[in-house]
Amino acid sequence: MTAIRILFDEAQIKKRVEELAQEIARSVPPDVMVVGLLTGSFVFVADLVRELGRIGYTPRVGFMRLSSYGRGRESSGEVKLKGDVPEVAGRHVLLVDDIVDTGRTQAFARELLLDQGAQSVRACVLMDKPSRREVAVATEFVGFSVGDLFLVGHGIDYAEQYRYLPYIGTID
């Protein structure tokens, strides 16, 4: 078993998701289209849309599957769309991802959604690694910022393992 050091426990994540929902509610319409990036964001998207619902929002939800990591620890540097793009024409979109690292995936996804006719696109990430940025991106809503750590848990994987963990940790 790989040693995992806990960075953010369940209670910290829950509190931050509640705060993010309040921040989002101040700047996006109640019927916002939430587009999660699979697979890493699925737990965060579920938490976030439930919290938005608790405060009276009625978000629609869709997913896109993008890939740049494969089974390794380093980004390949090339982002690929796998599958379809949700219907976003004329809608305000909240792009939700687990991590913004190099910025390539977020930049690619934002451009793709705008090309598909989204009225606006704002980004929300659970984890931000600003020291790893290679492409400038505007992430309007950030859960937690961390250094150059390899993260797992709360939907985030390493070689398709550890997504089930209820906390966010790092593999040392």
Tell me the C-alpha distance between 62 and 38, whole Å: 10
Residue 56: how many CA atoms within 13 Å on its side-chain side? 5
Which pLDDT belongs to residue 172?
A: 77
Whole-model pTM: value is 0.91
Active-site position among 98, 101, 128, 157: 101
20 C-beta neighbours (distance < 10 Å), count: 22
Which pLDDT belongs to residue 134?
A: 93
Mean pLDDT of the chain: 92
157 a catalytic residue: no
Split at pLDDT 50, 70, 90, the class of 78 is confident
Angle between helices 10-25 and 42-54 (to 10 degrees): 60
**In the predicted structure, residue 75 carries a pLDDT above the cut 60:** no
Which domains are seen in the chain, by residue range? 10-68+77-146 (3.40.50.2020)
CB 155, CB 98: distance < 8 Å: yes
Provide, rounded to the nearest whole percent, the portion of the chain with pLDDT above 90. Answer: 80
54 C-beta neighbours (distance < 10 Å), count: 10
**In the predicted structure, residue 69 carries a pLDDT above the cut 80:** no
Which pLDDT belongs to residue 113?
A: 96
Which pLDDT belongs to residue 74?
A: 52
